[in-house]
Structure 1
Amino acid sequence: MIDKLHHYIRELSIRRKTMEAVKKQNRAFEDGKSGGSEEIKTLEGEASALREKIRQLELELEEKAKEASSAEANAGALKKQSEGFLLEYDRLLEENQNLRSQLQSLDRTLSRSDSKKVS
């Protein structure tokens, strides 16, 4: 009987210590919770600001993508235009060469006819 009583007293002591430890943890949790709510609000504010920043950056990205697409289209148009100019330049160069050849031919013909008249 004394052994049982001793056993129950020891068990009661262990349970009291466990209960005190749980109470301390609960107090620490409550203290952290009240101080943590401020921290949570701060973190939520930062998260909201970051979401807004992401939204702005996404809008900016879309705008830049549209600008890039427009610039590519303009570059393609300019490339085609420059190819057209090159073809026209080559045609004019060839025409110029033909006219020079005709002029030289006429000059030779005229110089021969002038030399025949003089002689």
Structure 2
Amino acid sequence: ERARGLVAAVGSDTDNTYITLSARGLCPKLFIEARAVNKEAVKKLERAGANRIILPQAIGGRRMAMLALRPAVVDFIDTVIYSHGREMQLENVDIGEKSRLAGLTIKAARVK
């Protein structure tokens, strides 16, 4: 009832599908992220009610491709994500349509 989200990431696609289906039945508004080992499980997890489905091998493949093409970008992202106590944090900020910052880049907005 109080949970904001659920991560279904146990060892098998069948178990993750069952967990997702059960959680969705208990709480229709719950945000559910589920792991799929096989691509074939993605549709089943979607039908079971997962909001996001993660394929770890696909993520690994994309990361390797990005590292080959844009190593500096990957290094920057790693620095932000894995800052471990440094004074750095990446945040999501919603900017309203009427804000003076609407439509500006971070540089143009002079945000620090």
Range of TM-score over shorter length: under 0.3
TM superposition score normalised by structure 1: 0.20
Q: Looking at CA atoms only, which structure, 1 or 2, has the larger radius of gyration?
A: 1
TM superposition score normalised by structure 2: 0.21
